[in-house]
A and B are shown apart, each in its own frame.
Chain A
Amino acid sequence: MSRFHGNTQPPAGSVLEQLLAKYVDYMDSLRRESFLDDQFTQLLKLQDENNPDFVGEVVSLFFQDSERLIGNMGTALGKKSVDYKQVDADVHQLKGSSSSIGAVRIKNVCVFFRNLCEAKNLEGCYRCLHEVTQECVVLKNKLNTLFMLQKQIVAAGGSIPVD
Chain B
Amino acid sequence: MVLQRTFARYAERTAFERPLTSGVAYAVRVLHSEREQFEKHQGWTIKRMDILEQKPVHKDDYEPEALEPSPVQEEYAPVIFAQDTVSHVISLDLLSGKEDRDNVLRARASGKGVLTAPFRLIKTNRLGVILTFAVYKMDLPSNATPNERIQATAGYIGGIFHIQSLVEKLLQQLASKQTIDVTVLDTTNQSYPISMYDSSSNTSDNDLSYVSMLNFGDPLRKHEMHCRFKEKAPWPLLEMATSTGILVIALLLGHIFHATMIRIAKVEDDCRKMMELKKRAEAADVAKSQFLATVSHEIRTPMNGVLGMLQMLMDTDLDVTQQDYVRTAQESGKALVSLINEVLDQAKIESGKLELEAVQFDLRATLDDVLSLFSGKSQEKGVELGVYVSDRVPKILIGDPGRFRQIITNLMGNSIKFTDRGHVFVTVHLIEEVMDSIDVETESSPQNTLSGFPVPKRRLSWSKFRSFSQEVPICPSVSLISDPINLIVSVEDTGEGIPLEAQSRIFTPFVQVGPSISRTHGGTGIGLSISKYLVGLMNGEIGFVSIPQVGSTFTFTAVFNNGHSNLGEFGGPQINTQSILSTSEFHGMTALLVDPRPVRAKLSRYHVQRLGICVEVVPDLTYGSWSVLNCGMVKIDMILMEEELWDDSSSSLPIFLNHLRDNDPGAVPKLFLLTNSVSSSRTSNGTTTAIPSKPAVITKPLRASMIATSLRRVMGFRNRTDLRNGETSRLALRNLLQGRKILVVDDNDVNLKVAAGALKKYGADVVCENSGSKAISLLKPPHQFDACFMDIQMPVIDGFEATKRIREAERSFSGEYGRGNGSQDGKAVNCHVPILAMTADVIQATHEECIQCGMDGYVSKPFEAEQLYREVSQFFASQTN
Which residues of A pack against B, CB within 8 Å? 3, 38-39, 42-43, 45-46, 48, 50-51, 54, 57-58, 61-62, 65, 89, 92-93, 96-97, 99-101, 163
Contact = CB atoms under 8 A, between A and B. Distances in A.
Contacts of B317: 3
B757 A99 contact: no
B753 interface: yes
Interface string B665-680: 0000000000000000
Contacts of A38: 308, 312
Given A51-B761, A100-B861, 7 more contacts: A3-B317, A42-B862, A57-B753, A61-B749, A61-B750, A97-B750, A101-B754
A54 B757 contact: yes
B861 A51 contact: no
Contacts of B164: none
| A interface: dominant SS | helix
14 contacts: A38-B312, A43-B757, A46-B757, A51-B761, A54-B757, A58-B750, A58-B753, A65-B749, A96-B748, A96-B751, A96-B840, A100-B750, A100-B862, A101-B750
Contact of A46 (B749, B751, B761): B761
A99 B862 contact: yes
Nearest to B760: A51
B747 interface: yes
B793 interface: yes
Contacts of B760: 46, 50-51
Interface in B746-789: 747-751, 753-754, 757-758, 760-761
Contacts of B747: 93
A92 B798 CA distance: 14
Interface string B283-308: 00000000000000000000000001
B43 interface: no
Contacts of A89: 795
A125 to B, nearest CB: 20
Contacts of A48: 761
A63 to B, nearest CB: 10
- When A and B form their complex, which 8 residue pairs have the shortest distance between CB atoms, in order from nearest? A97-B750, A96-B748, A100-B751, A100-B754, A46-B757, A62-B750, A46-B761, A100-B750
A45 B730 CA distance: 12
A145 to B, nearest CB: 21
A99 B863 CA distance: 12
A72 to B, nearest CB: 13
Interface string B631-657: 000000000000000000000000000
Contacts of B795: 89
A39 B748 contact: no
A96 B753 CA distance: 12
A81 to B, nearest CB: 21
A46 B312 contact: no
B313 to A, nearest CB: 12
A99 B750 CA distance: 10
B761 A99 contact: no
Nearest to B308: A38
Given A46-B761, A89-B795, A92-B793, A39 B862 contact: yes
Nearest to B747: A93
Contacts of B863: 42
A149 B555 CA distance: 63
Contacts of A58: 750, 753-754, 757
A119 B861 CA distance: 27
A42 B754 CA distance: 10
Nearest to B315: A163
A139 B761 CA distance: 26
Contacts of B840: 96, 99
B753 A46 contact: no
A27 to B, nearest CB: 15
Contacts of B861: 99-100
Nearest to B750: A97
A24 to B, nearest CB: 16
B797 to A, nearest CB: 14
A80 to B, nearest CB: 24
A48 B863 CA distance: 18
A45 B749 CA distance: 20
